[in-house]
Amino acid sequence: MLASAHDTKPEAQELMRDYCEEAVKYGEQPLPLGSKPRQITVVLNPAANKRFKTYFFVLATSFTDIAMDSTVVTGLLRRPDGEIATSRKFPIGILPLGRTNTVGNALFARDTNTVTTMADSAMAIIREFAKPIDVVKIEALETETDLPGKPIYCLAGIEWGAYRDTNARKDKYWYFDGLRWYAAYLFNGLKSDISWRCEADLNFSLPCAGCSSCHTAVKQDVLSDKQKVGARWWQSYLPRLGQSPATNKYHVEQIDYSQIHNKACGIQHRKEVSTIEFSLTTANVGPKEISYMDFVAEGWKRIRGQEPFVEEKLKTREFELQPALPNNSKEQEKWISIDNEDYELKPIHVTLLPKKIHVFYKPENMI
């Protein structure tokens, strides 16, 4: 399996053998009549831990595709049948290879043994344990100079500020090897070109669990007339797989939100933000300013996987962020990270889409 090339210790090999033996049992199970083998697409994030991509090419078989793309969720939700594709057809498996894979680390508790973490994430796909999670929709707002483009969808969220800028520069300190993350904070803690002050107007609405005002029902997954006409006559005698909610692994019970009313839903609130960090992951606002020593200490704490210090948390369902942008071309451009990918800072409208996609995970009650 994929982790065997990463760790050759005897105990790791023994552990991987156990996982492989379990995986073989799934592979030996006969397919139901009329069904097709599962097809898996391996999507590599080139910005993640680059050395792992070599090991994934051993997965290329007649039923496995490999794509170099880090915009899986955006690609799915932009499809004409995006509602159906994300809710039922295409569950996503996430392998937490990189240090900053926030979503992967949430689905699979980061174990001190990297092999165990990697194996658990791969086996979750084989075992087909899936659950719905939230997606964040990000739309650029129209300005005097720019027209809005297509929306971007993400899982981990948005980062803007000094910590984001410092993390983006870590590769400049490649000669420190494994210590380059720590070096980035040491050498950038006093630089003026870091986003020490993130100023913006924030217009937001409070969270809503779902009501007649905000909820859009998921479209029913039905066969088109073209598909029905193209079916073979003998297929009517075969069992129809996945049509019954009782047999659908990814079925979510539908709720009639038309009967639910929330007067507070959609009411706008306004807040002026001035901070060294703005994070969407949990709608966090950091402190207004910070000393060099505290900045380095906080950065190192995050590298070790500890919870970041947050001065204020805002609970919101959707919001508009109007940042204070440079007034002239001489001022340095500002950047944000969306799922650890860099984008130019612009006014944006952000919406939380509850339980929008299905992902594979390891149930807590499993060993």
Domain of 6: which CATH number? 3.40.50
Residues 179, 302, single domain; the answer is: yes
Higher pLDDT, 105 or 221: 105
Residues 120, 76, single domain; the answer is: yes
Residues 119, 163, single domain; the answer is: no
Residues 292, 179, single domain; the answer is: yes
**Three-state SS annotation for the chain:** CHHHHCCCCHHHHHHHHHHHHHHHHHHHCCCCCCCCCCCEEEEECCCCCHHHHHHHHHHCCCCEEEEECCCHHHHHHCCCCHHHHHHHHCCECCCCCCCCCHHHHHHCCCCCCHHHHHHHHHHHHHHCCEEEEEEEEEEECCCCCCCCCCCEEECCCEEEEHHHHHHHCHHHHHHHHHHHHHHHHHHHCCCCCCCCCEEEEEEEECCCCCCCCCCCCCCCCCCCHHHHHCCCHHHHHCCCCCCCCCCCCCCCCCCCHHHCCCCCCCCEEEEEEEECEEECCCCEECCCCCCHHHHHHHHHHHHCCCCCCCCEECCCCEEEEEECCCCCCCCCCCEEEECCEEEECCCEEEEEEEEEEEEECCCCCCC
Within a domain: 124: yes
Instruction: Report how many domains make up the chain.
Output: 2
Of the chain, the percentage scoring pLDDT greater than 70 comes to 66
The 10s digit of each residue's pLDDT in 191-234 is 888 888 888 999 988 888 778 777 654 444 433 433 444 445 44
Residues 24, 106, single domain; the answer is: yes
Predicted pLDDT at 49:
56
Within a domain: 166: yes
Within a domain: 237: no
What is this structure's pTM?
A: 0.72
Of the chain, the percentage scoring pLDDT greater than 90 comes to 4
Residues 129, 17, single domain; the answer is: yes
Residues 289, 327, single domain; the answer is: yes
Within a domain: 17: yes
Residues 268, 315, single domain; the answer is: yes
Within a domain: 295: yes
**Per-residue pLDDT band at 316 (split at 50, 70, 90):** confident
The 10s digit of each residue's pLDDT in 260-275 is 888 888 888 898 888 8
Residue 83 domain boundaries? 2-133
Residues 13, 74, single domain; the answer is: yes
